[in-house]
Structure 1
Amino acid sequence: MASATYDNNNIFAKILRGEIPCQKVYEDDVALAFMDIMPRADGHVLVIPKAPSRNILDADPGALGALMARVQTLARAVKTAVAAEGVMILQCNEPAAGQTVFHLHFHILPCWSHVELRPHAGDMVSAEALAPIRDKIIAALQAG
């Protein structure tokens, strides 16, 4: 069984510290949002809190509420930017539920009817390939 303690060396903690680059979509004092490098759909974004939390089970409720407001705003922007028909918000807790990075995070997955999501932890996509979609999402955020 996995330890229930937060690991300050998880990949998202390293991204927050600037030790690993990301294709940033949004950042404020509460959250960081960036493109998933193994996207299950074009426009797949991850939203993480800046406060350390292993997952939703140990997150501070107040911080979680503030984070969810960002998830909602980003979901709207992703949907608009890629002209998706819908959006799936995915959040996994502990290995049995599919959590592989032990820092709370929400997946924003744009969806279209008749388009299947790609496999979890599938092919890695280059920063250059993600940049045009990232730019569309940033533009949608700025447009409100």
Structure 2
Amino acid sequence: MANPGDYDFYCEEALTGKTSIKKVYESEKILAFYHTKPKYNTHIIIIPKEHIHNLLDAGPNVLGEVLEVAQKILKKIDVDSGGGRLITNLGKFQETPHLHFHIISDGNYQDIKLSSKNNPSPTQLTHKTLSQVL
């Protein structure tokens, strides 16, 4: 590995199962999981399963799905703690060359799970369904 920024942890480890992760949500195209080395009480990562280098390379469909998942997670966090943050980085601030978003909160949420046996897509998770899944 030449530079830390050249190694794609998400493609090489998280998506292959090489590193164990605690999933929050998984669909055919999106994966959300608890950060393996969290820096906050709640630290969740959302990634597209397709390799996309960064936000500038992402198409509207992928961004839409990622943001739908982020919104549902943040709604759960916001209800209980009063807020959270959604962050992505570019350039020298991006440590891994794979589009990813961090959801962080000072609250301690270690059991958020948006998926079910059927792994519904975010658009299928109506308000009623979401409350049943959570």
The TM-score, its normalising length taken from structure 1, stands at 0.67
Q: What displacement does 1:100 show?
A: 0.3
Deviation digits for residues 2-60 of structure 1 (CA, Å, limit 9, x no counterpart): xxxxx7x6110121122221111111112111111232321210111112101101112
| Residues 40-79 of structure 1: pairs in structure 2 closer than 5 A | 40-79=39-78
For residue 113 of structure 2, what is the aligned residue in structure 1?
138
Which residue of structure 2 aligns with residue 85 of structure 1? Answer: 82
The 4+ residue runs of structure 1 with deviation greater than 4 A are none
Instruction: Give a deviation string over 1:37-92, Cα, whole Å, max 9, x none.
Output: 23232121011111210110111222211221111112223344xx3221111110
Conservation of the 8 A alpha-carbon contact between 1:88 and 1:111? no
Given that 1:25 and 1:138 are in contact with CA atoms closer than 8 Å, whether structure 2 keeps it comes out as: yes
The 3 A distance-change label for structure 1 pair 101 and 70 is: same
Aligned partners of 1:24 and 1:33 also within 8 Å: yes
Query: CA–CA distance in 2 between the matches of 1:77 and 1:27?
Result: 17
Q: 1:25 maps to what in 2?
A: 24
Q: Residues 41 and 106 of structure 2 are in contact (CA less than 8 Å); yes or no, is this contact kept in structure 1?
A: no
In the alignment of these two chains, the number of paired residues is: 112
Structure 2 gaps of 5+ residues are 1-5, 115-129
The answer (yes or no) to whether the contact 1:31–1:67 under 8 Å persists in 2 is yes
Amino acid in structure 2 at the alignment position of 1:51: E
Residue 127 of structure 2 is matched in structure 1 by none
Give the TM-score, by structure 2 length. 0.71
What 5-or-longer segments of structure 1 have no aligned partner? 1-6, 113-131
Pairwise CA RMSD: 2.4
Q: Percent identity?
A: 29
